[in-house]
């Protein structure tokens, strides 16, 4: 399958069709990908399964808790 990058804000994005995710047995909410850049210019994208799918939620809560004062000050600007 050949895909083209699209503009997404200041970045470029590669859109993965829902049908392709379904065919790979992935969900758009739980899909994680490892991207490897080859020194010769190639890019490999491989789906990976998270060891603990709730780990990022816990890490986010921890960051919020540790930086509560800073985030409150920044939100008032």
Number of domains, the chain: 1
Stronger pLDDT, 51 or 16, i.e. the higher one: 16
Tokens 């990058």 label which residue?
5
User: Is residue 1 in some structural domain?
Assistant: no
Q: Which domain holds residue 52?
A: 6-75
**Residue 7 to residues 11, 12, 60, Cα–Cα distance (Å):** 6, 5, 27
Q: What is the mean predicted confidence (pLDDT) over 21-26?
A: 87
User: Is residue 18 in some structural domain?
Assistant: yes
Structure tokens at 55: 């780990």
User: Is residue 16 in some structural domain?
Assistant: yes
Residues 6+ apart with CB under 8 A from 1: 20
Q: Among residues of the chain, what percentage have pLDDT more than 90?
A: 22
Q: Does the reported pTM lie above 0.85?
A: no
């Amino acid at each position: 399958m050949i895909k083209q990058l699209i503009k997404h804000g200041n970045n470029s994005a590669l859109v993965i069709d829902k049908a392709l995710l379904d065919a790979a047995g992935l969900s758009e909410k739980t899909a994680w990908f490892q991207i490897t850049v080859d020194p010769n210019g190639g890019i490999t994208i491989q789906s990976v399964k998270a060891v603990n799918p709730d780990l990022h939620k816990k890490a986010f809560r921890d960051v919020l808790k540790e930086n509560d004062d800073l985030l409150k000050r920044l939100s008032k600007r």
